[in-house]
Every structure is written in C-alpha cells, then in structure tokens.
C-alpha cells in the first residue's frame, strides 16, 4: 500500500511552508487572563482563540502588551514579570521593557532592541 502524501496545509488551512510573521502568547485561562483578553481584543490585528484551559492571543508582525493599560484594566499594578506568570508559552521574538512586553513576528524587527541590550 502506498504511503499517503502529507498535506501542505495545517489544520487551520494555512500553508505549512509559507513564511509567517505572526507572533503571540498563550495564557492560562484565569480571571486575570480574561481581563487581559478584553483589552487586547479591542486592538487592530489581534486575534483571540479560546481553548478549554488556555487563551491564545495572536498578532501579525508585532504584538505589544502595555503594562500601564493592563494595570488600569486589572485594577492593580502589573509589570512584565507578573504578566509572564499567566503566560503558558509564546512565539515570535520577545523583548521585555520596564513598561511593556513586545513580541515581534520578524527577527529583523527585534534585532535593534536586542543589539542595544548587548551594548550595556
């Protein structure tokens, strides 16, 4: 019996061999995560996907989490390190600042920030 050829499409209908400039995070589903999602789903180009115990937030090219905005939405102070507690995983290049967490879908876009880090 001949082997069945593998599909070049993934389960979402996207080509597996296409270059993606997407980036994003997967959060553990919690009260705090749901508040973060409420804020992020209002931003252009952001896609939210709910799973049984996780919530995925995807962006194209760049996805930014502003800690001041999140703090206001949550009613308490949050910093990038607090944010990562709810983060199960991420994809794209993550750059952490004091006041925000930024994910880049293209390595080239993140390099200027990482190069500046090397100078210190």
pLDDT digits (tens, 9 = 90+) for 36-86: 999 999 999 999 999 999 999 999 999 999 999 999 999 999 999 999 988
The 3-class secondary structure across the chain, one letter per residue, is CCCCCCCCECCCCCECCCCCCEEEEEEECCHHHHHHHHHHCCCCCCEEEECCCEEEEEEECEEEEEHHHHHHHHCCCCCHHHHHHHEEEEECEEEECCCEEEEECCHHHHHHHHHHHHCC
> What are the φ/ψ torsions at residue 111 (nearest 5 degrees)?
-55, -40
Question: Rounded to 5 degrees, what are φ and ψ at 37?
Answer: -65, -40
Ranges of each domain in the chain? 22-118
Give the confidence band of 29 by pLDDT, cuts at 50, 70, 90: very high
**Tokens 């296409």 identify what position?**
18
pTM: 0.79
Give the model confidence (pLDDT) of 84-106 as tens digits. Answer: 988 999 999 999 999 999 999 99
Architecture per CATH, domain 22-118, reads as Alpha-Beta Complex (3.90)
> Under the phi-then-psi rule, with left for phi > 0, alpha for psi from -120 to 50, and beta for the rest, what region is 61?
left
């Amino acid at each position: 019996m001949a082997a069945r050829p593998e599909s070049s499409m993934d389960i979402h209908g996207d080509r597996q061999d296409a270059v993606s400039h997407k980036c994003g995070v997967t959060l553990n589903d919690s009260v705090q995560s749901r508040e973060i999602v409420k804020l992020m789903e209002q931003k252009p180009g952001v896609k939210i996907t709910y799973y049984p115990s996780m919530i995925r937030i995807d962006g194209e090219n760049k996805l930014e989490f502003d800690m001041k905005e999140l703090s206001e939405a949550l009613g308490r102070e949050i910093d990038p390190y607090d944010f990562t507690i709810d983060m199960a995983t991420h994809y794209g290049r993550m750059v952490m600042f004091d006041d925000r967490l930024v994910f880049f879908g293209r390595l080239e876009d993140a390099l200027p920030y990482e190069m500046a880090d090397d100078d210190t």
